[in-house]
Structures are given as C-alpha cells and as structure tokens.
Amino acid sequence: MPDSRERVFLRSNAIIEPLVDKFYAWMHIVAPAQASMNLANVQVPLLESYLHSPQVHIAASSNPDLRGGYFVNVPEARAAEVGELLDTIKRERADMLAFAAAVTEADELLRQNASGFDLTPLYPKLPAPLHGLVELAYDTSNQASMHYMEPLLYHSKAFDRGRQSVQLSLEDGVERPFILSTPRLSSPDVLDLPISFDHPGLDELMRARVEGTTLARLREALELDDAQALQLERLLAPEPSLSPDRHIDNGGRIRYFGHACLVLQSPEAAVVVDPFISADNRHGDRYTLDDLPDHIDLVLITHGHQDHIVLETLLQLRPRVGAVVVPRSSRGNLCDPSIGLYLKSMGFTVIEVDDFDEVPLPGGARVVATPFLGEHSDLDIRAKSTYLVQLAGLSAFIGADSSGIDPALYQYIRSHLGEVDKAFLGMECDGAPLTWLYQGLLTRPVTKKMSDSRKLSGSNAEQAAAIMTELGAGEAYIYAMGEESWQGHVMATTYTPDTYQIQQIEEFLTWCKGNDTFAEHLFNQREWRW
C-alpha cells in the first residue's frame, strides 16, 4: 500500500452512483411525497413481479425492442438478494408506504365529498399520515385538490436519509442497467458507502479531482475501514488528469458536452447547463469531467426529468459550484416537486427563478429565465425553465425540450430580450407516454390511449422552425436525443435514420438551409469560439 500521506487525485473515470434503497437516485425517488408514491406504486410491484418471474424480466432486459421498459436486469442466481431488498423496504419503509396509501385514500375522499361546499369537515377524516402536512383547496372552476406542505415533508416520516447510499467505481464503458428499473446490488468492483448525499466526505472526495488530497484524509472524511480504504485506492491516481484548455483567457466559448449539456465560458465566468457528463476519457470523441473549469459560477437546471438533473454528475460538481439556478415549482403540487428543496436537502446553494428573473454573472454577463412550454404530458408542472445566457457579447437561447406549440411566446421573449445569436433546441418530438415517468404519482388510472396521447415531447420540425422565426436567431443547434453511447443507462433510446424524430430533425435542417439559417444536429462534442 502506498504511503497514505502522499498526495493523490480522483481518477478521471471515477464515477459515483447515488442510490436510494439500492435504486439509482433521481428526483422522484428522493423528494418525499413523490418517493413514497413511486416506492409503493412502482418499485415494490416491480420487485414483486421480478421475484414471481425472474426469467421474464431477464429476457425482456436483453430485448432491444423493450429497451427502457420496467424490467429488473438481475441474474436469477441473485434473486434472493432482490427478495431481501424487498423485505427490507416493506419492513423499514412502512411509514412511506403508509403515506402513499394515505394520498390515494385522501384523493378518493375529496372526489366523493368535495362538492363545492366547505372543506373544513374533511380535515378530521384525512388519513393520519397526512395530518399537518396538507391543505385542501378549490380552484376557480370549483375542483378540489390537496396541496402538500413540501418543506415539512423533508422533516416527516416520508423522508429518511438512511435510505441513501453511494456506489463508487470506475467507468469501464459497459452500459449500466437502466436507472428506472434495476436496483444496484453489491459487487466486488464497487465500493458501497452507506452515507447520505449531503455527507461532507463526498465533497472531500470530489475536490480531489482538482485539488488533490491524501488517502488518510479521504479515509477519515468518508469514515472507511481497512477494506474500504483498499477499494478506494483503485479510484485514485498520483497525478491529476485535468485538461489544460479547460479555461479561456479572452473572448467567449461554448462547449457541447453531449445530450443537453452546455458549458458557456468567458475569462471571468463559467456556466454549465443540465450537467450530464461522461467520465470515460479513453475515446477522445467527447468532453468529460476533465474539461470542466475548476470553478463554475452557475449551474442551470431546465427541468426535473432524470436526463436533465443528473444527480450523479451534480454531486461530482458540488464543491466547485457557486450556485444552482432552478425554476420555481407551483408549491404543493404532487406532480411538481420543488427542485430547490430537493437540491438544498443535499447541501447545494440554490437560486430559484421565475420567468424573466435575472441572475448576474462576473464580467457583466447575465442569465435570464424564460418560459418553457410543453414536454410534461400536460401535467400542471411549473418547475421548468428555458434560459437566455448573455456572455462575452453573445446571446444564447437554451431551449431544452420546450415546444413551439405557441410561437407567440417567442415573440414576447424576443421583444423583451432582443434577438438571439444561437438557439439550442430539443427535438425529441415523439417522446414517452405519460405513464412511463409519472405512473407512480397518478391516484386515478388512465387508459393506455389517454397516456399515449400525452407524450414527453419537444418540438417537431414545424414548431422548431416557428421558434427560430420568432426569436430571430441566426443559428440553430439540435441536441442529441440520448444518441451518445454513454447515456444508455439513463436514456435507453435507439434511433435509426427512419425514426420519426430523426426525420423531423432532417426536415428542420432542410428548412433552415432554405431560410439562410445555419443549423446542425449535435453529437458527442462541439465547440464555438468568438
């Protein structure tokens, strides 16, 4: 064993998987109300289904046509471990399961009894797990609903940091199991740490990527025993692997890191949008964590879907980030958890914004939050924002997966903020149905036909063209839609030239060419300098 006092650095390809009850963590299984609902309505039934027929799940997991489906990809020889996990959840998460049952019961109580008259008599009839945590209210069309006091939920039995843990390993280029369905079991090549996401030892480890530290210091910070310290050594190197051009001395730069992740820089400021970044630097065809600036002033989050607020990447960035800018939620809406509360629970500094709020940056730059239309299956979700970033004399519109269903919106953006130089747009225009992501939160079943009609879709060719026209943007860049090879565990998408989404992108590129607008379908990496 090398001297534990020698300076070491976190390897470039070291990854951290945040887990909740062994499932890969994303917002809907961390935020208390949503986590309870998904545990009861998705994860427990999923594990029960696997234990009933492991062969069915294993066969489905290897079927390309079923990629991204809710199947447990665990060998049958390890079924007993899945059974132990299920038993643990039922025993130790009983309060969460009771909370989910209470939500469904209370929803039915409202449907049966809230007829436009005083709601006060219903409070004593609410199930006990909801007492003190909800408010009943009518909207202006006389429809009753239940609003959750979300800050209190983080101090209730519906939230337990003991569910949280992390797995540390090295990126080997092998696609990991799909995050929404397969629990991460222990294996010899991973270091399992039963620590919560806000544990200060994680920041000590992540700082070692840039600053270096000692094995002794990491061992103390992460509370490791001898065996764990030996495992941690695999993740460490004697020299840093940071890219020499990760900063700039003049002008401005934008780098595309894949999917919807952009890094915008001037000599004075750095902004990262929707960080979802590869840790595999062996290929030379992508930017990785090595290419990020040492300090990031702002991280911008556009919305709460699992491919845009990627906790695995965010935890690696936490020690070097000034603040995370997030759209404000509608407060108390089950399908619209607060991104701000979620990140604050893990120790991030958060700035919540509404439409047209501004956040200043060093060097006279600024970020302006702008409206986000669509892509959320017509659910009442307010925690979504596009952004205009004005930096080093350039104006970039960050469109994420928003839709051009009402082009007049972009007239207002242009009249308020001026013309745009570059527009970055998502064109996953035939997305997954409502129930793929929101099944666990529904208190009343929807038909398949209804679910299929309400897609998680961005702009098609016509809508993207309308955005460009109304923004007056000179250049258009279309994000890859999970096409990069290293995103399969999150995106689970497969495209061919005949896929509708790809055809719509080609149609939009043709429109741009005919309208003297430079356009490009992004993939893996790209850089712009000015």
The token pair at 404 is 């051009």
**Pairwise CA distance, residues 139 & 10, whole Å:** 52
Q: Is 360 in the same domain as 505? A: yes
Compute the distance between CA of residue 194 and CA of residue 186 in angstroms, rounded to an integer: 12
Phi, psi angle pair for 300, to nearest 5°: -105, 125
The answer to whether position 246 is within a domain reads no
Do residue 200 and residue 348 come from a single domain?
Answer: no
pLDDT of residue 374: 93
The total of structural domains in the chain comes to 3
User: Cα separations (Å) of 79 from 49, 53, 87, 112?
Assistant: 12, 10, 12, 42
- Pick the closest to residue 37 from 328, 337, 302, 311 (CA basis): 337
pLDDT at 53: 98
Residue 20 domain-assigned (yes or no): yes
Question: Is there a single domain that holds both residue 384 and residue 329?
Answer: yes
Last residue of a domain, one of 153, 176, 197: 153
CB 322, CB 360: distance < 8 Å: no
Of the candidates 460, 471, 443, 448, the one whose C-alpha atom is nearest the C-alpha of residue 511 is 460
Rounded CA separation 205/294 (Å): 15
Size of the chain in residues:
530
Q: Tell me, yes or no, whether 80 and 109 share the same domain.
A: no
Which pLDDT value is given to residue 2?
A: 54
Task: Check if the beta carbon of residue 273 is closer than 8 Å to that of residue 300.
Answer: yes
Last residue of a domain, one of 137, 153, 169: 153
Residue 50, in any domain of the structure: yes
- The verdict on 360 and 450 lying in the same domain is yes
Query: Would you say residue 317 lies in a domain?
Result: yes
The CA dihedral of 468, 471, 477, 479, to the nearest 10 degrees, is -90
Question: Does one domain contain both 385 and 448?
Answer: yes
DSSP annotation of 486 reads G
Distance CA 9, CA 287 (A): 19
Show Cβ contacts of residue 69 under 8 Å, excluding neighbours closer than 6 positions: 60, 181
Q: What is the mean pLDDT of each run of 10 residues along the chain (530 residues)?
A: 81 96 98 98 98 98 94 97 98 98 98 97 98 97 97 97 97 92 96 98 97 96 97 96 97 98 98 96 92 98 97 98 98 97 98 98 97 96 98 98 96 96 97 96 95 96 98 97 92 92 98 97 98
Same domain, 399 and 269: yes
Give the integer Cα–Cα distance in Å for 144 and 147.
10
Q: 384 and 399 share a domain? A: yes
CB neighbours of 58 closer than 8 A, spacing ≥ 6?
71, 73, 74, 75, 76
Same domain, 446 and 506: yes
Q: Is residue 167 part of a domain?
A: yes
Q: Please tell me whether residues 219 and 336 are part of one structural domain.
A: no
* CATH at residue 365: 3.60.15.10
- Asked if residue 331 and residue 447 are part of one domain, the reply reads yes
**Residue range of the domain that includes 15:** 7-93+160-237
Assigned domain for 289 exists: yes
Going by C-beta distance under 8 Å and a sequence separation of 6 or more, which residues neighbour residue 459? 399, 402, 403, 404, 425, 426, 427, 429, 467
According to the model, what pLDDT value does residue 281 have? 84
**Number of H-type helices and E-type strands within the chain:** 17, 23
Is residue 17 domain-shared with residue 43, that is, in the same domain? Answer: yes
Residue 244 falls inside a structural domain: no
Domain-located, residue 243: no
